[in-house]
Amino acid sequence: MLKDDIVLNAKTARISLLHVAVIALSLIMTISAYYFSKAQIEKRTKARFEVSHERVLGLISERMKKYEDALWAGASAVQSHGGDISHGDWKVFAESLNIKEKYPGISGIGVIHYLDPDEIPGYLDDQRAVRPDFRIHPLHEQSEHLPITYIEPEAKNAAAIGLDVAHETNRRTAALASRDTGTAQITGPIVLVQDASSTPGFLFYAPYYSGEMPTTVAQRRTQILGTVYAPFVVRELMEGLLAKEFRQLRFDIRDGDDLIYDEHTDEDALNDTDPMYAKTAELELYGRTWTLDIRTNLAFRSINTYSQPSFILVGGLIIEALIIALLFLMSRANSRAIAYADRATTALRAESEKLADTNLELENSNIELAQTNSDLEQFAYAASHDLKTPVRGIGVLNEMIEDDLEDYFKGPDANPEVRENLTRIGERVGRMNDLINGVMAFSQVSGADIDGGTLSVRKIVGELNADFQLQPGQLTLVGADATVDVDSFNFRRVLENLVSNAVKHGASDDELRIKVSVERSSTGVRVSVADNGPGVDEEFHGRIFDVFQTLRVNGEQESTGIGLAIVKKAVERHHGKVSLISAAGSGATFIFDWPGRKAGDANATSSEAA
């Protein structure tokens, strides 16, 4: 008994150390998965910001290029009319552009003439012939005069008609730069005369010349006729360019020291005072440098949270806690069993010493020992049954975590080790269930006999063929049919475990052959179960009948190591013996004896083997 206690304690220590190692490894993998997932999400989130940032710059540049194309189209229209288009023809051209639909954000499109002072009287006569109230304003002392002759739509921009853009530095500087370079130019920040809200704006110029396209500055100054221009209110331009409700970024724009557009305001419901990302970028546009301060808003934050890594961490820690709780329950149950066994052993030893003088006293001691063993087996069954609930809970939680992370596993940056760890936990839960069920089955072998009536061996073989879904000829009964009439319930269990062992460790599915032989003896039946599997080396013949012992080969399904122990225990209950004939590579044959009823004793039971 003392030797058995030492072996039990040693096995318990090994199992506990293994579980502790699994917990430590699982915890390390959980934390690693958390940091890896967090790093990957941060990387993807930053990449989203960079893409959105580049998209903002790209949209501004592309839209300004589109406006530039419209201006050059206007310049071509003027030159196609000999360099001097009429008011009516310009109105037709402007309407053909469909500015409101195709060029959102633009306030209009017009023509500016370049005039020397001596050209002004003739210019005014020509314009007043059609529009008597036309005048150039305001007065200034510059050598060039650049009046706005036409602009459409005219009603919206009436205040700009006749305005001499040479009167103000930003307007004049960009217009002359456009003339001298032959390229489109925009002005520095100005306030448009037609903008009642007096917010920052600018003008966009595209020059046109007389004759062949000049190639030098001197030629351009000599051949300049005018410029097609478009006025912009920056606020309206950005609203037409980038609808705020569809963006996850906010930005402001500075032209030099002047703030010409600002979205970083408290009035914006999505403004993020502590943005996840911010970046400053310079945009070179038609002679000006715009500096954009781009920041993420609350919409960006809401769809780029880091909850998934936290969920992985919390889920992993919950699993760790459940596993630790399971180990605690197992340890406590084991300690209670050992303590109970120690007390029972001490009491029985004392009783045995007291009753050693008489056979009656020895028989009473044996009866108490049998009762104690029965109590221990019942305790093992109850403890195993109590452990099933937390194990089942761990399995359900593991499946829920796998379902919740399904979208993450489908992503290109998913960590395969996370799925492997969850699969490994699932396998360990399945293994624990198998061990618990095996312990329960092993403890029930010593329970009260369940007679079950007379049982045909041929019927059992047929049922096992169906249970294991074997092909015809893979499991056969050799010799005449026989019947079992003593403890047929446990006989069925013994035969079922031997056939299951042959199926698990036998040959491949197509080559598997199992033969069951039954011979009548003077005391009952002798049964053998032979397979054509890989066999068992002789040095392991004794070990395979011990609890939790299995000779699993790499790649083979993992076994609990309890099936053959159940066979041995059930046979020995009936004073029988199970033996093995096998060698490595030559299959295995298990042989055991089972008692029958004594002749003339119709009421005999298997209690004689108890």
- Reply yes or no on whether the pLDDT at 127 is more than 70: yes
Could you please report the per-residue DSSP string of 450-474?
-----EEHHHHHHHHHHHTTPPTTS
Alpha carbon distance 324, 26 (integer Å): 12
- Reply yes or no on whether the pLDDT at 314 is more than 90: no
Strands 588-595 and 524-531: antiparallel
**Share of the chain residues as helix, strand and coil, in percent rounded to the nearest 5:** 55, 15, 30
Percent of the chain topping pLDDT 90: 40
Mean per-residue pLDDT, 330-341: 79
Is there a contact between 295 and 277 (Cβ–Cβ < 8 Å)?
A: yes
Could you please report the per-residue DSSP string of 474-507?
SEEEESS--EE-SSHHHHHHHHHHHHHHHHHHSS
What pLDDT was estimated at residue 363?
61
- Of 308 and 455, the structure prediction assigns the larger pLDDT to 455
Burial of 165 from C-beta contacts in 10 A (0-12 / 13-18 / 19+): buried
The runs of H, that is alpha helices, within 81-156 are 87-97, 99-102, 120-128
Is there a contact between 251 and 295 (Cβ–Cβ < 8 Å)?
A: yes
- Of 286 and 307, the structure prediction assigns the larger pLDDT to 286
Alpha carbon distance 507, 505 (integer Å): 7
- Of 39-43, 472-476, 544-548, 555-559, the least confident: 555-559
- Of 118-122, 335-339, 574-578, the least confident: 335-339
Q: What angle do CA 394, 400, 403 make, to 5 degrees?
A: 145
For 152, list phi and psi in degrees, rounded to 5: -125, 140
- Of 509 and 339, the structure prediction assigns the larger pLDDT to 339
Alpha carbon distance 298, 595 (integer Å): 81
- Of 371 and 56, the structure prediction assigns the larger pLDDT to 56
Q: Name the CA dihedral angle for 359, 361, 364, 366, rounded to a multiple of 10 degrees.
A: -60
Reported as a pLDDT band with limits 50, 70 and 90, residue 1 is very low
The total of other beta-carbon atoms located within 10 Å of residue 220's CB is 18
Reported as a pLDDT band with limits 50, 70 and 90, residue 602 is very low
When the pLDDT of each residue in the chain is averaged and rounded to a whole number, the result is 81
Mean per-residue pLDDT, 247-257: 91
Alpha carbon distance 55, 417 (integer Å): 35
Is there a contact between 430 and 392 (Cβ–Cβ < 8 Å)?
A: no
Alpha carbon distance 258, 449 (integer Å): 98
Alpha carbon distance 291, 491 (integer Å): 89
What pLDDT was estimated at residue 76?
95
Mean per-residue pLDDT, 233-244: 79
- Residue 242, helix vs strand vs coil: coil
- Reply yes or no on whether the pLDDT at 525 is more than 60: yes
Is there a contact between 549 and 597 (Cβ–Cβ < 8 Å)?
A: no
Q: 54-77 pLDDT, tens per residue?
A: 999 998 999 999 999 999 999 999
Alpha carbon distance 390, 316 (integer Å): 16
Reported as a pLDDT band with limits 50, 70 and 90, residue 9 is very low
Tokens of 181: 């370079």
554-558: long-range contacts, CB 8 A cutoff, minimum separation 24: 556/504, 556/505, 557/504, 558/431
Alpha-carbon dihedral sign for residues 375, 381, 386, 387: positive
- For 15-46, b where at least 16 C-beta lie within 10 A, e where not — what string? beeebeeeeeebeebbeebbebbbebbeeebe
For 557, list phi and psi in degrees, rounded to 5: -60, 135
What is the Cα gyration radius of the chain?
A: 48
Alpha carbon distance 209, 78 (integer Å): 10
Mean per-residue pLDDT, 509-532: 89
- Reply yes or no on whether the pLDDT at 448 is more than 70: no
Mean per-residue pLDDT, 363-390: 57
Residue bearing tokens 């949270």: 305
- Of 466 and 11, the structure prediction assigns the larger pLDDT to 466
Q: How far is CA 244 from CA 195, 234, 241, 268, 508, in A?
A: 22, 14, 9, 10, 67
Residue type, 219: Q
Mean per-residue pLDDT, 109-113: 97
